[in-house]
Amino acid sequence: MNFGISTFVTDDGIDPVSLARAIEERGFASLVIAEHTHIPASRESAYPGGGELPSIYYRTLDPFVTLAAAAAVTSTIELFTGIALLIQRDPITTAKEAASIDLISGGRFVFGVGAGWNLEELRNHGTDPKTRGALLDERIEAIKALWTTEPAEYHGRFVDFDPSYLRPKPVRRPHPPIYIGGDSDATVKRVVRHDAGWISNPLPVERLSARIDQMRQGAGHDVPLAMFGAPVEHDYWRATEELGFDQLALILPTKPLDESLRLLDDYAAKVQRYRG
């Protein structure tokens, strides 16, 4: 099992270049970046678990810009959107941005996507929350078509374009790995439908196990597993490794440069002890 770092990169924390370099220097496998375009100032913006949202949710840098900066100064770590809110993104533009990062990085981009939970944020992008699942499905399919065929076309209820040329194509063939986030029966069906991986939050082990069993039964084979926001706890790592997780991205709080580097040193030492 590989260990990466997941975080919210903001305008008041460690910069993406220093962060990416530090992650790679310490032997971590990936940088996994959260996304929110904005947070509307309304009651519906409260986090599902309750309470007020921390400011990191509306101070996040754009994930594709962040990962492009990281790509330019690293050579080994995977560059992972965790998750890109695809229901808020134009699929043609997103296909080009993602393929560009994959090209710049030499094939290190990983496409984590999801339907989102902030209803007002979705609505501000013209997305009807009632149809976000179907919209997500179509945008995944359209992006895969743009990555793998030329000219590409797609004709759906929400996404519709005639034969079109789009370059660059991704370095990884047939396309970068796709991971879908969420914790629902619909998420399970979507992972199976798109032959994708699952990127989860740090759920209780019993809940993770139940979801993974559903996915394996539906797909008829093992499903790639990753996690955003994993706690720094050896017992939890051991339990998720036994469940078959390929990668845990440890949650790095959004802090200034020096404090972030100290935390990364501490995490690296704990990973080394776990492996030893």
**Beta bridge pairs of residue 114:** 85
How far is C-alpha 116 from the chain's CA centre?
12
Q: What is the DSSP string of the chain?
A: -EEEEEE--BTTS--HHHHHHHHHHTT--EEEE---S---SSGGGS-TTSSPPPTHHHHBPPHHHHHHHHHHT-SSSEEEEEEEEGGGS-HHHHHHHHHHHHHHTTS-EEEEEE--S-HHHHHHTT--GGGHHHHHHHHHHHHHHHHH-SSEEEE-SS-EEEEE---PPPSSSS---EEEE--SHHHHHHHHHTT-EEEE----HHHHHHHHHHHHHHHTS---EEEEEE-S-HHHHHHHHHHT-SEEEEE-----HHHHHHHHHHHHHHHHHHH-
pTM, to two decimals? 0.96
How many residues are listed for the chain in this entry? 276
pLDDT at residue 45, rounded to an integer: 58
Instruction: Give the per-residue pLDDT at 41.
Output: 87
Q: Kindly report, residue by residue over 12-38, the tens digit of the pLDDT.
A: 999 999 999 999 999 999 999 999 999
pLDDT averaged over consecutive 10-residue blocks of the chain (276 residues)?
Answer: 98 97 98 95 65 88 98 98 97 98 98 94 95 97 98 98 98 97 96 98 97 98 98 98 98 98 98 96
Contacts of 258 (CB under 8 A, 6+ apart): none
Structure confidence at residue 141 (pLDDT): 98
Q: How many CB atoms lie within 10 A of CB 136?
A: 24
Q: Are 94 and 86 in contact (CB under 8 A)?
A: yes
Q: Which pLDDT does position 66 carry in this prediction?
A: 98
Full set of structural domains in the chain with CATH: 2-275 (3.20.20.30)
What pLDDT does 52 receive?
Answer: 77
